[in-house]
Structure 1
Amino acid sequence: MIFTIFKKELKDTLRDRRTIIAMIVVPVLVFPILLALSTTVTKYFDDKQKEEVLKIALVSDHTENQFTQRLSAIPDSLGPKELIFRQDTLGLKKEISMDSIQLAFIIPSNFDAEQADNRQTTIQVYHKGVNLGNKDRVENYLSIIENTLLAERFERLNLDKQLIDPINQQYIDISSEKEIIGKVAGGFLPYLFIIFGFIGCMYPAIDLFTGEKERKTLETLLTTPVPRWKILIGKMLVISLSGIAAAVFALLGMFAGLRLFNIVDVPGLSSIIDGILTPSFILGLLVLLIPLTIFFAGIMIPATIYAKSFKEAQSVLTPVNFIIFLPAFVGLLPNIELDYTTAFIPIVNIVLATKEMVAGTIDPILLIISYIVMVAVAAIAVLFSYKRFGKESNIIS
């Protein structure tokens, strides 16, 4: 009877366009679309910034000082620029705020003398902090000028540059590329499937309980000679399956987007993704998703049974949505690892376990503990749903 109810509810669910969109269409398309938009927009603004002529005001009593000469010598391949020589700062701030001039260098009149005496010279730079790209270009210009002046200074003093660099640092990272991806981006994956797993469960839960109450079909179903717990389990299986499908399609959409749009500067990213998407990883992920989605179903069903309309059910589940997402942020925080403490915290343990699985550094004992904890939490949620489903006042609208 459970399987019969499951088939019946699954057919009804698959006929609902909202559920199909939330379960398959949105998860599959959202990340390729977002990645395509982000790469396109980023490339557009980068290209536009490189082609934009930067108007730079040079405020100095002497236009032929070393600073202006070196700035003029910087090739336009680093970004086209137009130098405007000024004698004073009158009206300069207004021009920069109006964007008629993007930057201004205030060059002291004794710049050449201080450089000849091997002293430090203060250069004031006027800019608008909101134009981050302009500031980056200026820092690049200043770095080039500073390096040329420093090289001349060492040559003039007949000194070796190693005198100011007593230590040559060499960092040798023994982490594999898979571990780097796991630690950096692995925290995003559980956040992803928690979001879509929850959304994938939500719409079928509302339709199978609140929707049936609105359509006056739930009372008819309960009059059949089938134990109430079998009806509950049949419906819950459909809700959990929808959540698993939404999470899996979201992950597939994200990995497909990474393969199509090279937004992560990692050599051999495609081979790394292929190395992550192994049968053992997919199986382990599904094992973690099953109790997670059952837990989602278990906390949603009481709310949807209590609600008297589709709109009310959505209003009730929205705060739950935010509460569930909070532990998912833990995976994005640095220096929080799966240990014998975090393994006992529901949802947090799933987030951290997935992160370790992506990196390939998962401890099997901690994985088992996390799974047992989530199974126990899911069982409590199912029991709570059964208690609420058994109350006539909740069933009859």
Structure 2
Amino acid sequence: MRPDFIWQVASRDLLSTLRDRRTLISTVLIPLLLIPLFTLGLPLLLGRLIGGQAQERQKVGVVGMLPESLRAALTRDERAPDGRVTRTGVELVPVKNPRAAVQSGEVDAALRAPTALPTRAGDGSGTLEIYAKLGNLRAQTGAFAKVQSTVEAYNRELAVQRLGTLGLGPQTLTPVTLAPIDVSPEQERRSGQLAFLIPLLMLNFILTGAMATALDATAGEKERGTLESLLVSPVRRSEVVAGKLLATTVTALTTACFSVLGFLLSGVLARAALAGEPSDLTQAFGGQLTLTPGSALALLGAMVSAALLISAVLIALSIYARSYKEAQTYVTPLSLVIIFPAVMLQFSDFLTLSGGLYTIPLFGSMVALLDTVRGNLTATHVLTAIAANLIGALLMGLWALRSFGREEVIFRN
């Protein structure tokens, strides 16, 4: 094949793509805006919402009498050594029907003691019923969580008082103290529980960028009637396929590069936003991307091979369509092929990732991207995933070439 003819076909399709302003927005701006929003904005929003419940004073209904020390513990504010309130207490209000009061929204939770509660350990036991909407995240992180932790602290206080009368100290209740030590790699701790979003968003943006060029260069040209003029020119069919594959891959990789910039930008914004105020929730959910030279090379190889495979699949499918709209119906299910396996990656900690998974085209590159993000990079696995994608791209490219050589396919419209 002649490289100059391939580039002429590719530049022709790229120029057509660049004329579409909507394509430029989806290729450049959306990755830069959506990725920081998902990986940084979402954890920060959750942190503010859940943290706000600790600072908000919820109303808790009470039926009957509570021990005075328990009432004081429920309404007392917790303060840091500098005097700053870290968690407010609740406001106790009398209610008649605890279930109805919670369901109507009059109170966030309600307490009912069928029998008198003990005020000293060893004086029997009692049950404190708590009415709350347990399926509601706001209730779980607000009134319910405060009551639960306060009652646990109240039980411990009574037990400690009882131990004091026996000449024993509080350490009697906890003879063994557990000290967790996180041995995860630094990058895995930074990536957090939302690390699976990185391969998911990267491959989705690759698909989005490739679709714009692939559909326009095949079904779009058939619909406009310009494909015939290209086929009668002194360009071989293999050069036409190679040129369109090159143009589609360039567009896909452009989107992928901006998605990587989006992840790097989210890491920079996270460090700036949390410089003076560390957030355990943001660190837990994470989603930050930090690249070493080796991981950057692995990331690039996985993205290029995945872009080639996705581009070849799109071209092979789109050439069969009679129109642009029909081509969209063919390629739209491809997003599910990416989304479902990528979402399953969030449960990868429960799976034993054998080497055979990396031989699956596209899915192997998702696992390799996740390994790269978490700092568990293995050269053999990355090379296996890249090779699987390249073999798949070659097979799909040959299928597309065969389709371009059949007149009943080219002139289906």
Q: TM-score range by the shorter chain?
A: 0.7 to 0.9
The residue that corresponds to 1:228 in the other structure is 237
Find the residue that maps to 2:92 and give its secondary structure.
strand
Find the residue that maps to 2:355 and give its secondary structure.
coil
1:56 to 60, 66, 69: 60
Please tell me whether the aligned partners of residues 213 and 251 of structure 2 are also in contact (alpha carbons under 8 angstroms): yes
**How far off is 1:329 after superposition?**
3.1
Please tell me whether the aligned partners of residues 179 and 358 of structure 1 are also in contact (alpha carbons under 8 angstroms): yes
**How far off is 1:249 after superposition?**
1.0
**How far off is 1:324 after superposition?**
3.5
The residue that corresponds to 1:317 in the other structure is 331
The residue that corresponds to 1:378 in the other structure is 393
Deviations 1:201-251 (A, max 9, x none): 111111111111121111111110110110111111010111111122112
Q: Residue type matched to 1:124 in 2? A: E
Please tell me whether the aligned partners of residues 191 and 373 of structure 2 are also in contact (alpha carbons under 8 angstroms): yes
1:101 to 107, 113, 121: 107
The residue that corresponds to 1:82 in the other structure is 91
Distance, in Å, in 2 between the alignment partners of 1:183 and 1:94 is 40
**How far off is 1:199 after superposition?**
1.1
Please tell me whether the aligned partners of residues 358 and 384 of structure 2 are also in contact (alpha carbons under 8 angstroms): yes
The residue that corresponds to 1:365 in the other structure is 380
Report how many aligned residue pairs link the two structures.
389
How does the TM-score come out when normalised to structure 2?
0.84
Please tell me whether the aligned partners of residues 339 and 366 of structure 1 are also in contact (alpha carbons under 8 angstroms): no
Q: CA-atom RMSD, angstroms?
A: 2.9
Instruction: State whether structure 2 residue 143 is matched by structure 1 residue 139.
Output: no
Q: Residue type matched to 1:332 in 2? A: Q
Distance, in Å, in 2 between the alignment partners of 1:35 and 1:179 is 15
Deviations 1:121-146 (A, max 9, x none): 22111222222232122223223323
Q: Residue type matched to 1:67 in 2? A: L
How does the TM-score come out when normalised to structure 1?
0.87
The residue that corresponds to 1:67 in the other structure is 70
Find the residue that maps to 2:62 and give its secondary structure.
strand
Distance, in Å, in 2 between the alignment partners of 1:83 and 1:302 is 67
Q: Residue type matched to 2:299 in 1? A: L
Instruction: State whether structure 2 residue 98 is matched by structure 1 residue 92.
Output: yes
The residue that corresponds to 1:297 in the other structure is 311
**How far off is 1:118 after superposition?**
4.7
Shift of the 94–183 alpha-carbon distance from structure 1 to 2, 3 Å rule, reads closer
Distance, in Å, in 2 between the alignment partners of 1:299 and 1:116 is 70
2:184 to 164, 175, 197: 175
Deviations 1:268-327 (A, max 9, x none): 99xx968x3233322221211222111111111122111122221111111222124333
Deviations 1:86-127 (A, max 9, x none): 6xxx433212211112222223553236x3535432211122
The alignment-based identity, stated in percent, is 26
Distance, in Å, in 2 between the alignment partners of 1:161 and 1:18 is 66
The residue that corresponds to 1:354 in the other structure is 369
Please tell me whether the aligned partners of residues 338 and 353 of structure 1 are also in contact (alpha carbons under 8 angstroms): no
Deviations 1:372-396 (A, max 9, x none): 2221111111111111121112212
Deviations 1:139-160 (A, max 9, x none): 2322332332232222233223
Please tell me whether the aligned partners of residues 18 and 203 of structure 1 are also in contact (alpha carbons under 8 angstroms): no
Q: Residue type matched to 2:261 in 1? A: L
**How far off is 1:63 after superposition?**
5.8
The residue that corresponds to 1:125 in the other structure is 130
Find the residue that maps to 1:7 and give its secondary structure.
helix
1:389 to 373, 398, 404: 404
39-48 or 311-320: which moved more? 39-48
Shift of the 14–233 alpha-carbon distance from structure 1 to 2, 3 Å rule, reads same
Please tell me whether the aligned partners of residues 63 and 85 of structure 1 are also in contact (alpha carbons under 8 angstroms): no
The residue that corresponds to 2:297 in the other structure is 283
347-356 or 30-39: which moved more? 30-39
Q: How does 1:206-221 map to 2 (within 5 A)?
A: 206-221=215-230
**How far off is 1:40 after superposition?**
6.5
Distance, in Å, in 1 between the alignment partners of 2:220 and 2:99 is 63
User: Structure 1 unaligned runs (5+)?
Assistant: none
Find the residue that maps to 1:84 and give its secondary structure.
strand
Deviations 1:57-83 (A, max 9, x none): 2222x5664433443445594225322
User: Structure 2 unaligned runs (5+)?
Assistant: 80-84
